[in-house]
Amino acid sequence: MARLLSFKAAVFFTLFFFISTDFVCCNNGRRVGDPLETELSGFSVPLEHSFELDDTGKFQVRGSLLLKTGREPSVSLTQNQLSEEDRAKLKEVAAVDGLYRIRVPRVFLQADRQTEWQMEGHLTAFVRACAMVESHLSDVITLHTDVSGYLIGVSIVTLPGACRGTEVEDEVDLEVFNTTLSIMAPVNAPGPETALFLERMEQESEKKGKNPQEQKSFFAKYWYLILGGAIFLMVTNSAQPPAGGGREQS
């Protein structure tokens, strides 16, 4: 059963796997194991966050995103710990169901020179502060680029995402961010699959060709029936007396 299921999944969710492989590859790129390369052709932008009791946006630096430009952009993150003060504030905000917001500046990832990648404005996203607290600061941040390499959006979700009202006793849990970061480019939407279909059609017709029974023409298949019918007709015709023959002659 399990094998069947996986087979089906493979058939039906190729697209999904395509996305997830993309995702994984991005994750690999994220790992801060190659600082040299990022320094060579990348730049860093601040990742800022804001959580206030009155929900006004007072953004402070949370960490810095190292973006590697080029054909396949990747991203890595170095971030600070939450200070004692911030931890208390985050818990307070969570208690009144406030929002925890992040923002990143708009950048252009395909740029060669530094002057080109900077753009005006920010991209913002939010998550409920209580979800942030209850997940012990484990969040998933995804940066979305468009087809030409502009950063168009950022999204943040926490894992788990729900707010159940559980108290976070241990202050240590709110100290370090446990962030999963990825960068996603748009997937190519598939066009109509004509080639495969034609191939399949050809295969089918080939199979038909191999099967001699189906290749036979109509007459080849049913010659005995037709012949039988013809003979039957002839016999019945000849058996009939030539009625009115005499009259025709006169």
Partner 1 sequence: MGKLILLLLNLIVLYNIVAAVFEDQVGKFDWRQQYVGKVRFSHFDTHMQSSKKVLLATESNVFAAINTRTGDLFWRHVDKTGPEGNIDAVLHHGQDAVLVVGNGRVLRSWDISVGGLNWEIVLDSGSFRSACLVGQQGTVKHAAVLKKSVISLHYLSNGHQKWVENLPESETVNYQAVHSDGNGQVYALGVVSHSHIAVVAYSAEDGEIIKQVSVEAPWLSNIPASCAVVGQGMLTCVDSTTMSIYTLDLYQQLQMIQIPLQSLGLEVDPGFQPHLVSHQPHPARQPLSEFLLQLGPDHHLLLQLNNGQIVILRDFKPALLVSFATTGEKTVAAVMSPKNKTACGINLFSAESGRRLLDTTLIFTVDPNAGKPERLHVQAFLKKDDSVGYRVMVQSEDHALTFIQQPGRVMWTREEALSDVVTMEMVDLPLTGTQAELEGEFGKKADGLMSMVLKRLSSQLIMLQTWVAHLWKLFYDARKPRSQVKNDVSIENLSRDEFNLQKMMVMVTSSGKLFGIDSKTGSILWKHYLDNIPSNAAFNLMVQRTTAHFPHPPQCTLLIKDKDSGLAALHVFNPIFGRKSQVAPPALSQPILQSLLLPLMDQDYAKVLLLVDDQYKVSAFPSTKNVLQQLQETAASIFFYLVDSSQGRLSGYRLRTDLSTEQVWEVVIPVEVQNIVSVKGKRPNEHVHSQGRVMGDRSVLYKYLNPSLLAVVTESTDLHQERSFIGILLIDGVTGRIIHEAVQRKARGPVHVVHSENWVVYEYWSTKSRRNEFSVIELYEGMELYNSTVFSSLDRPHAPQVLQQSYIFPSSISTMEATLTEKGITSRHLLIGLPSGGILSLPKMFLDPRRPEIVSEQSREENLIPYAPELIIRTEWFINYNQTVSRVRGIYTAPSGLESTCLVVAYGLDIYQTRVYPSKQFDVLKDDYDYMLISSVLFALFFATMISKRLAEVKLLNRAWR
100/123 Cα distance (integer angstroms): 14
Q: Which amino acid type is present at position 235?
A: V
53 binds partner 1 (CB under 8 A): no
Among 3, 85, 121, 242, binds partner 1 (CB under 8 A): 121
Interacting span for partner 1 (CB under 8 A) from 25-33, 51-59, 65-73, 86-94: 51-59
Contact 187, 140 (CB under 8 A): no
Distance CA 135, CA 155 (A): 16
Chain Cα centroid distance, residue 112: 28
Tell me which of 60, 211, 216, 229 binds partner 1, using CB under 8 A: 211
Calpha distance 129→28 (Å, rounded): 28
Cβ closest to partner 1, residue 7 vs residue 223? 7
- Applying CB under 8 A, the site for partner 1 has a residue count of 62
Q: What is the C-alpha separation between 125 and 156, in angstroms, rounded?
A: 6
Q: Is 180 a residue that touches partner 1 (CB under 8 A)?
A: no
Do the beta carbons of residue 137 and residue 116 sit within 8 Å?
Answer: no
Q: Determine if 245 is a binding residue for partner 1 (CB under 8 A).
A: no
Q: Which of 40, 27, 20 is nearest to 74 (CA)?
A: 27
List the beta bridge partners of residue 125: 102
Position among 25, 45, 111, 123 found at the interface with partner 1 (CB under 8 A): 123
Among 179, 198, 200, 70, smallest CA distance to 127 is for 179
Q: What tokens appear for 217 in the block? A: 């023409």
User: Which one among 25, 45, 111, 184 touches partner 1, defined by CB under 8 A?
Assistant: 184
Helices (DSSP H) in 64-160: which residue ranges? 84-95, 114-117, 129-134
Q: Which segment (96-104, 165-173, 220-228, 229-237) binds partner 1 by CB under 8 A?
A: 96-104
Least distance from partner 1 to the Cβ atom of residue 182, Å: 11
Q: Give the shortest CB-183-to-partner 1 separation in angstroms.
A: 12
Q: Which is nearer to partner 1, 176 or 184 (CB)?
A: 184
Task: CB nearer to partner 1: give 34 or 149.
Answer: 149
Residues engaged in binding partner 1 (CB under 8 A) = 1, 4-5, 8, 11-13, 15-16, 19, 55-57, 97, 99, 101, 106, 119, 121-128, 131, 140, 142, 144, 146-148, 150, 152-153, 155, 157-163, 184-194, 196-197, 200, 204, 207, 211, 214
